[in-house]
Structure 1
């Protein structure tokens, strides 16, 4: 694991070699938190050991972005819990497991789970208050999906119920309707220019980028947030227009 400052943001390059969660130091902080009426505004002044304060500074103030090495296959429970500034993640393409509370109480607004991920445990993304975009592969097992997104925008906006038997299906098929094919393409793992161009032609050209799906997300938002997308909307539209011009010129020559 190494830490670097990039564009003024602290980035953690994580290879899975360090145990990020310390149960003892975590518990000691929460004991003091309860003693101070659940008010954490002045926690630096609490009677805590230097090790405990350093541990919480790392979680509370550092690590705005995390880039996982492709050697990482598991993120164990509580690994990044309470990393309140964590807003961006680039996952390992070989990731298979995300543990309980692994990324709860962070600051994520979008999550694109890699296609090899086989299981996500409860509370994995809970309490990410700004989380509104979650893309989960069809073959991923969601353990208690109600709790996975508890206390997020995604959860509260749609008033999801814990007992709803359709929740697992809903999370994986938000864009299942053929009308939203471009949404699926832009949110897919490593979408290609050719794939997007083909779907645009089928769905009405550049205007299709502005069509909101049934949870209010547009293809533009998916493409912008997707950390694996290597093309921009501008590049796509430029290529589309050039192709259309070429087709028009060909048609004119035939006429």
Structure 2
């Protein structure tokens, strides 16, 4: 599910069924008291466990500490582009969370913000993000794709106990934090993985992707990089993408046949 900025502006706060899912339309109110030994406000534990989707409405700038802590049945999070900061442990232990559309204006992700989100396989960080704090994605065991801009500052153990660190060529126990963070940013940086970069970018270009496919042939969509991800996987999971692979393939086949679409 991807939701445009225009559609987000039509929603009102509250909890209701949206597209068959029990959905919280969040307007920035404080939902959690305290940090480690705190507890829920506004909505009780039972209500928090009923949410399957969280949609952060326009106007919200900060998702504060522990806001959605242990909302273990939430599978999808969509953020309006007004969100600037995600606080410490904001989505801690959201164990079914598998898809996140981050704010295009996001500037920082707090410590352990997505800790133990064990169903999360990918996350694409917008260019605006300056800081990702310690263990932000720690314990996200299935996380294999973390697309990070070169200028984003990474804290310590950002990907500790994830599939991504296991797939790295580094000896985790004997590598320092700087080496690991440098590796995260240089994944897919050589020409061999140009299609991976194009499909995982913050603002993908259909024409650029098509030109790369023409050079590398259509099978390049299935080529795995060093962590095992394919360009097709990026197209399917990148929340900033709205490109239909079927249309690209049709265009490619028609051009190979001397026709045009």
Q: Give the TM-score of the pair, scaled to structure 2.
A: 0.76
Change (3 A) 1:19 1:150: farther
Shift of 1:241: 1.7
Asked if 1:133 corresponds to 2:145, the answer is yes
Partner in structure 1 of residue 135 of structure 2:
123
* Aligned pair partner of 1:155 in 156, 161, 165: 165
Structure having the larger proportion of residues in helix: 1
Q: CA RMSD in A?
A: 2.8
1:21·1:78 contact (CA, 8 Å) conserved in 2? no
Partner in structure 2 of residue 85 of structure 1:
96
Partner in structure 2 of residue 112 of structure 1:
124
1:62·1:85 contact (CA, 8 Å) conserved in 2? yes
Shift of 1:7: 4.6
Tell which deviates more after alignment, 109-118 or 1-10.
1-10
Shift of 1:65: 1.0
Change (3 A) 1:170 1:237: same
Matches for 1:51-90 after TM superposition, within 5 Å:
53-54=45-46, 57=49, 59-90=70-101
Partner in structure 1 of residue 106 of structure 2:
95
What CA deviation, in whole Å up to 9, does each residue of 1:56-102 have, x standing for no partner? 73634442211111111111111111122222111111011100011
What CA deviation, in whole Å up to 9, does each residue of 1:97-146 have, x standing for no partner? 100011111131110011111100011111112111111111100011xx
Unaligned runs of 5+ in 2: 1-12, 52-69
Matches for 1:1-255 after TM superposition, within 5 Å:
2-14=14-26, 17-23=28-34, 26-27=36-37, 53-54=45-46, 57=49, 59-106=70-117, 107-144=119-156, 147-158=157-168, 159-161=171-173, 163=176, 165-203=178-216, 205-246=217-258
- For residues 171 and 28 of structure 1, the distance between their equivalents in structure 2, rounded to whole angstroms, comes to 34
Change (3 A) 1:13 1:192: farther
Unaligned runs of 5+ in 1: 30-50, 250-255
Aligned partner of residue 228 in structure 2, secondary structure = coil
Change (3 A) 1:222 1:155: same
- For residues 90 and 24 of structure 2, the distance between their equivalents in structure 1, rounded to whole angstroms, comes to 13
Say how many residue pairs are matched: 225
